[in-house]
Structure 1
Amino acid sequence: MVEFLIRSITIGVGATAVYDIWGRLLVGLFGLPGSNWTMAGRWFSYIAKGQFTHINITTAPAMPFETMIGWGMHYLVGIIYAGILLAICGLEWGRRPTLLPALILGIVTIFAGWFIMAPAMGFGIASAKAPNVNIIRTVQLVGHCMFGLGLYWTARLISPTWQ
């Protein structure tokens, strides 16, 4: 159980960092839209108060510490996804990772954002209400592929430490 937790945390944090670095590169190099973890933190803060859906989260009153909460939840979700990957594939995958399971999970994780988070925040299914929806969807999908690669790369990086 200790190995499972350590691997979940390490792989999840590493993969989420890869996602974030990729996102910052896209913003800096191409001016593409980046993630707004403040709005995510606002949404999670309202969930804690019992409100799950919003007409538009950007018009909801700000919540205390929403940026910090957003970033924290972003990394916690990455850790949970890494734990799901290890639960499905087993600790042996963490010791000898292969690309395909990590990449598949990375791609699948986009569905939580598209079909739960975006609609609940008032942005529509797969951010359909955004003015630049196709750019946003492409950036999100590629970002989640990068998360999948990050799962693999981080697992590869730490795999020798457990053998």
Structure 2
Amino acid sequence: MKAFPIKRALLAGVTGTLFFDVFGLMVSAIMGNPAWWDIPALLAGKLGLPLFFGVLAHYLNGIVLAVIYAAVAPFLWGSKWMRALTYITVETVLGVWLFMAPLLGMGIAGVNGPMGTLFAVISLVRHWVYAIGLALFIPISVSLPASDAAPSAAS
């Protein structure tokens, strides 16, 4: 049995979160409002703590999502890219659109927020960019059931 890829999950979580942040900065710059670390700033503000703690919470969340992905990825279908995109799409719909956005008073998928339906699209694409880190760094090993295994030399 292979060891759980914790180091790879840590690397994937940090890298994916960095990709998420850089893409978010690019989108906000295109929209005329460059905002580096918009999510950490939001977290820090809601927690009433300095920005450092918002950044820490944001990156720890990225790591936790990567660890969960490393555990469930062998049970998903498709290529490593399809598995990462499937996982992160489900996470975005359940975690962001149906939980965080309403919790922040923006309604389901953030459609009642300042960006309207654009929030839903941008949040999904940002999370897909995060998934690049998952696909790049977390190895996928799938064990075949005994009946599907290659025939042994003895048979």
Distance across 2 between alignment mates of 1:88 and 1:100: 13
Q: Show the counterpart of 1:39.
A: 42
Secondary structure of the corresponding residue to residue 109 of structure 1? helix
8 Å contact from structure 1 (residues 18, 146) kept in 2: yes
Counterpart amino acid of 1:40?
A: L
8 Å contact from structure 2 (residues 14, 59) kept in 1: yes
Distance across 2 between alignment mates of 1:33 and 1:130: 18
Distance across 1 between alignment mates of 2:34 and 2:124: 13
TM-score normalised according to structure 2 size: 0.72
Which structure dedicates a bigger proportion of its chain to helix? 1
Q: Show the counterpart of 1:82.
A: 66
Max Rg structure: 2
Distance across 2 between alignment mates of 1:71 and 1:78: 11
Give the number of equivalent residue pairs.
131
Moved over 4 A (4+): none
How large is the Cα RMSD of the aligned pairs? 2.4
Q: Which among 121, 132, 145 is matched to residue 128 of structure 2?
A: 145
Task: Return the offset for 1:103.
Answer: 1.2
Distance across 1 between alignment mates of 2:110 and 2:86: 22
The yes-or-no answer on 1:22 pairing with 2:23 is: yes
Please, which runs of 5 or more residues in structure 1 have no aligned partner?
46-62, 91-96, 157-163
Task: Return the offset for 1:30.
Answer: 3.9
